[in-house]
Amino acid sequence: MKKENRNTLIILGAALVVIIGLITFLSLASRADSLPAAAPSVEEVRIPLEDAKTAFDSGEALIVDVRSEAEFTKSRIPGSILIPVGDIAGNEPEVEKDALIFTYCT
């Protein structure tokens, strides 16, 4: 093979690699644009049980039991709602923006 042909093949191969890389990058970038935005972080706060009970009893708070349905059926806090932890995404309770939501798992 002539040296000129070999150099031409190397240049074409390198150009092909760059083009494929660019196409892959653009494809991944367009997919990333279509993904939903990450959920805003939620601050985890631990409060004394007495304060949680007072807020719940006064209607200021909602208690969400995130255990399994079997555990919820066996024992639960009266008035709490069940949303198993694996089902929370897409099943968030409809509450006021600043409402208190207590999760219960044990």
Query: Architecture of domain 49-104 in CATH?
Result: 3-Layer(aba) Sandwich (3.40)
Domain ranges of the chain: 1-35, 49-104
**CB neighbours of 12 closer than 8 A, spacing ≥ 6?**
none
* Tens place of pLDDT per residue across the chain (106 aa): 566 777 778 788 777 777 877 777 777 766 655 555 555 556 677 888 888 889 889 888 888 888 999 999 999 889 988 888 888 777 777 777 777 888 888 7
- CA dist 76 to 27, 30, 87, Å? 48, 46, 18
Predicted TM-score (pTM) of the model is 0.54
